Amino acid sequence: MILLGPGPVYVPEEIRKEQTKEMITHRSPEFSELYRNIVERLKTYLNSKESYILTGSGTMGLETLILNIAKPEEKMICLTNGVFGDKLSKTAKIYTNAEVHSLDAGKGWNLERAKKIIDESNAQVLGMVYNETGYGVRNHAKEIIKYAKEKGMFTILDCISAWPGTPLDMKEFGLDGFVTGSQKGPSCPPGLALLGLSDEAVQRINSRDRIPSFYCDLREHKKRYEKDGQTPFTPAISLMWALKKSFDLIDSEGMENVRKRHKELSEYVRKRVVGAGFELIAEPEFESYTVTAFKSNGNAKELRKRLKEEFGIVIVGCKGAYAENGLRISNMGHVTKEMLDNCLDALEKIKE
């Protein structure tokens, strides 16, 4: 079976195998070595002040950022253009006062569209999704985050389906809170949330009297990490072995090459999808580097079924406004051109 959904993504065998290592206790020097290894490497990739790897899905990671960074009495601008931005907004509403601004399906956020909102708001925090997975839209996050940061806001970016295939440097962006999930770009099985924090975010979190969570209180994670390189609660150790291997693969390829490969493969998929007569959902200039979303000819479910049954290829539908009619092909992680060609060749054959 060829898995081309936008997460969980295809997991290469060398990453999968790491999970079968003999179990160790998380209160051991071996675990400290493993956890320190992946945390310190993540910090370097992100250019963050601190990083943590929590056991739980990406949503938990995003919730962790929001509840640690945004205070209940504050206001948070939430820029949404799809289901994942909506989920970010819903989460923000639980922990702070969310001011939600939406764009239609397929449209992307850039500074031109966000500037007035930022200028006119007295919010302390801004949150948005880098890559709106549901519609394959890459928001121009850098210019928005940078601007909001210059205006004195704390900034949170859901990079769950963006990283590492889309450029990101926390310092350059002015980003205070980063999150991705192990089952996306890192190409591991689901179950880990990878977090990055800026210096300002760390200071704010440390100075808070009360953080409304026990498991997700990053002060607990910091305390334990600084004590002995461990986690306050029992982590998914097997997944951490897998993540270490995933980082080895990133290092051997080089981050710049990882990004170049994603950009080029996404361009290739779009070219072939359009060549086959389909219409892209993302507006021009906002196309995702990791997932291509397009409109079917009213036969999305049938195409997915036939791809799976006749060709052994799994792709997924879209979300929200295109839940019925949209299709998505992901090139996230270690998906190869050959896998994509198999899918695109098959799609051309059965598209009517």
Ligand X SMILES: Cc1ncc(COP(=O)(O)O)c(C=O)c1O
Where do contacts with ligand X occur on this chain (CB under 6 A)?
Answer: 7, 57-59, 84, 129, 133, 158, 160-161, 181
Cβ proximity of 306 and 283 under 8 Å: no
Nearest distance from C-beta of residue 156 to ligand X, angstroms: 12
Which residue, 55 or 230, has its beta carbon nearer to ligand X?
Answer: 55
Sorted by sequence, the CB contacts under 8 Å of residue 124 that are 6+ apart come out as 70, 71, 74, 75, 76, 152, 153, 154
Nearest distance from C-beta of residue 290 to ligand X, angstroms: 9
Pairing of strands 125-129, 154-158: parallel
Which residue, 70 or 202, has its beta carbon nearer to ligand X?
Answer: 70
Nearest distance from C-beta of residue 109 to ligand X, angstroms: 13
- Nearest-angstrom CA–CA distance, 46 and 338: 30
Nearest distance from C-beta of residue 137 to ligand X, angstroms: 10
Helices (H), the chain: 13-18, 29-46, 58-69, 83-95, 111-120, 141-150, 170-173, 199-207, 218-228, 237-253, 255-275, 300-311, 337-350
How far CA 286 is from CA of 31, 136, 172, in Å, comes to: 41, 8, 20
Nearest distance from C-beta of residue 80 to ligand X, angstroms: 11
Neighbours of 99 (CB within 10 A): 18
Which residue, 159 or 202, has its beta carbon nearer to ligand X?
Answer: 159
Among 64, 262, 44, residue whose Cα is nearest residue 165: 262
Nearest distance from C-beta of residue 106 to ligand X, angstroms: 15
Residue 239 tokens, joined:
């997944």
